[in-house]
Amino acid sequence: MTEPIKVYTIPTCSDCNYAKRYFTEQNVPYTEYNCAENAKYAEEVKDLTGKQIVPTIVIDNKVFIGFAENLKEISEIIK
């Protein structure tokens, strides 16, 4: 990975919290973008995905919508 992972979240999203906890436990740096606190981040998600769905995770310009269903691929990338 060339830069920290971007994790677009909202506070009430359990999958978002799972992603943040996973990256922390794996000692993988990430930057959280809270869409509930900043509408600009929600617009970035829409630009990236065409939708406003969280978590949206960006790893080296690869975009993942959702965490649990993408965990296998994400874990392979961050190794």
Distance CA 14, CA 67 (A): 10
Query: How far is residue 17 CA from its own chain's centroid?
Result: 10
Residue 1's pLDDT band, with cuts at 50, 70 and 90, is low
Please state the rounded mean pLDDT for residues 39-61: 96
Give me the pLDDT at residue 64, please.
98
Q: Are 52 and 60 in contact (CB under 8 A)?
A: no
54-74 confidence digits (pLDDT tens): 999 999 999 999 999 999 999
Distance CA 53, CA 35 (A): 10
CATH label of the domain that carries residue 38: 3.40.30.10
Predicted TM-score of the model (pTM)? 0.94
Domain that holds residue 20: 5-78
**Percent of the chain residues past pLDDT 70, beyond the cut:** 99
Total domains in the chain come to 1
